[in-house]
Structures are given as structure tokens and as C-alpha cells.
Amino acid sequence: MYQHYIVPKPSFSEYVCYPDLVGRYKQFPQHAERREQGQLKHYNLHFIFSGSGYVINGIGGERLQLQAGDGFLFPKHAFQQYGSSTDDPWDVRWIHFDTQIPLPMLREADDFGGWLFTYSNGERFKELMEEMYALCHPFETSNEPRLSALLYEILAQLKQNTERLEGSSALEKQNAIRAAADQIRHKCEEAWSLERMAALSGYSNYHFLRLFQQVMGKTPNHYVTECRIAAAKLLLATTALTVTEVAARCGFAQPSYFIRVFRSAEGLSPKMYRNIYGQNAKLY
């Protein structure tokens, strides 16, 4: 399989990021590139879904093996050398792209001249890239905003679901914490002790607390409160439940505490929030 799409330059010049070339090579053992420094003016992102191959580390000049679940991102103008195995060729999806502003998710590649990574959530990357291919064939100018948005989501997913190639164990820990966080969010109205939350991830209380703060950027208790506030906002905007009933349904034992926490988080009371967003609230 050889899919290769050239994306016309956008008619709108202010997209944060935009693809230049996108494609997929499968059972294509000829796939090999060597680009000298300064030759390619776009970022170059590859996701490997099966097969094996190699990339040359531009810093040390060493030849590193890449296989399913690995990938690489080269910044603009970087030296690049990589290729698929002739005996077990890659199934690889790739994007060449540019940005209008520096993006945090590209910083590591920019700083070190390239980034080799291992990734999870591969099905989501496939879905996003398949949609990009569909928008490129046939291409229409009206597809431009969606192409830019898809690329940005891929880069955001890249930041959240990858680790340096040698860090696969760290990636497994991230996935366990995010899975636990999703379960907590879906049942945020329940009583959540540190022990119960830690049990979802399989880690001790101490390690769960440390990892949760690293991955989610906040303590588990802060996260639970955020989830409860989000659930309360939805009920306030879409139902006619009283503030006391909303508090109870979202896991707040005392309405007065709910009102205080809500005001601190949103800058207004639950009643004021309903007045602004829930004018058409119906009986729940």
C-alpha cells in the first residue's frame, strides 16, 4: 500500500498548524530517506503500526531499531535518516507539517534535533489520520479548518500519550493513572478515599498520589472536586433541581459547602450560574 497526498497551501494564512504532506506506507520495503541538515523545511512525524526498521540518531550517529508502537518527530531543517526493513517492512503513517507559532508539544524535538518515542492510544491516531486522508482525496478548500484541527489534535495526543523511546514503563504508568481518572470522573458523586482511588491504578497510596500529580497536574482530591463541579454545572444548566438536590447528586454532603466550593471555582454562586446558563431548564 502506498498512500501519498500533497495538501495544497491553505487559503487562510493564520492556522496554528497545517499539513503539507500526509500518507501511509504498508508493505513498502523501499521506504528509506536521508535528508541533510536544512533540506526539509517542515516537521516530519511518523507513527509505526507494524513491522520494523531503523532511524539514525543525529546526535550520536547510532542506528536504533523502531517497531510497532514507536515513532519519531524531526523538527524543521533537521538531519534525518531512517528506513523500513526489507524483510519486515513498516506499516507507517506520516505527516509533514508546519506551524505559525511555537507549540509546546514540539519543544523536545526542536531542542534536541529529533524525538524518538513510544506511544499508546494507537487506534485514536489511526482514526485521526484516516480522516485526514479522506479530506485530502478529493481535497476541497472547505476542508482546510478540519485538516488543521485534526493535526492539532494529533499533536495534543502526541504530548499526552507518548514517552521517550526508552520510557515505555513510564508510559504504562501514565495510562494507568488516566484510566483511574476516567473511572473517578464517571462516578464522581461517590465517596472517594485515597485508598479507593489508588486501588484503581494498582499502585500504593504514596505512588498513586505522586504519579497522579505528575500526570494530571493536580492532586486526586482537587480532581474529584473539579469533576463534581463540572457535573453540577450540567445539572444547573439543564434541570430544575434545587441547589440542595444538585449538591447531593454531585457528592457534596452539605449544600453550604457546595455553594462555597462552587463560588470559589466559578466566581459566582450556583443560583447565578443557573440564571445565566439555565434559562430554559426543564424538569429533570
Q: Choose one of 115, 135, 166: the last residue of a domain.
A: 166
Contact 281, 237 (CB under 8 A): yes
**Which of 88, 284, 99, 239 is CA-nearest to residue 73?**
99
- CA atoms within 13 A of residue 195's CA, in its CB half-sphere: 0
**Which of 181, 175, 183, 271 is CA-nearest to residue 232?**
271
Can you tell me the distance from the alpha carbon of 146 to that of 154, in angstroms, rounded to the nearest whole number?
12
User: Are 34 and 155 in the same domain?
Assistant: yes
Q: What is residue 59's predicted lDDT score, i.e. its pLDDT?
A: 56
The residue range of the domain holding 194 is 169-284
- Count of structural domains within the chain: 2
User: Are 159 and 214 in the same domain?
Assistant: no
User: Are 176 and 149 in the same domain?
Assistant: no
Give the phi and the psi of residue 280 in degrees, each rounded to 5. -105, 25
Q: What is residue 75's predicted lDDT score, i.e. its pLDDT?
A: 94
User: Are 22 and 112 in the same domain?
Assistant: yes
**Which of 136, 130, 128, 112 is CA-nearest to residue 10?**
136
DSSP secondary structure string for all residues of 109-157: HHHHT-EEEEE--HHHHHHHHHHHHHHHTTB-GGGHHHHHHHHHHHHHH
CATH number of the domain bearing residue 185: 1.10.10.60
Q: Which residues contact 5 (CB under 8 A, 6 or more apart)?
A: 21, 22, 23, 133, 136, 137, 139
User: Are 141 and 259 in the same domain?
Assistant: no
Work out the number of other CB atoms within 10 angstroms of the CB of residue 96. Answer: 19
User: Are 35 and 10 in the same domain?
Assistant: yes
Mean residue pLDDT across the chain: 92
Can you read off the three cell numbers belonging to residue 174? Answer: 501514565
Q: Which residues pair with 97 in a beta bridge?
A: 19, 43
Work out the number of other CB atoms within 10 angstroms of the CB of residue 30. Answer: 10
User: Are 9 and 32 in the same domain?
Assistant: yes
Q: Which class for 193: exposed (0-12), middle (13-18), buried (19 or more C-beta within 10 A)?
A: exposed
pLDDT digits 0-9 by tens, 152-185: 999 999 988 988 876 556 778 888 999 999 999 9
pLDDT digits 0-9 by tens, 241-259: 999 999 999 999 999 999 9
Q: Choose one of 166, 196, 213: the last residue of a domain.
A: 166
User: Are 198 and 117 in the same domain?
Assistant: no
User: Are 152 and 18 in the same domain?
Assistant: yes
pLDDT digits 0-9 by tens, 103-155: 999 998 988 888 999 999 999 999 999 999 999 999 999 999 999 999 999 99
User: Are 154 and 182 in the same domain?
Assistant: no
CATH number of the domain bearing residue 65: 2.60.120.280
Q: What is residue 210's predicted lDDT score, i.e. its pLDDT?
A: 87
Q: Choose one of 114, 132, 166: the last residue of a domain.
A: 166
Q: What is residue 284's predicted lDDT score, i.e. its pLDDT?
A: 43
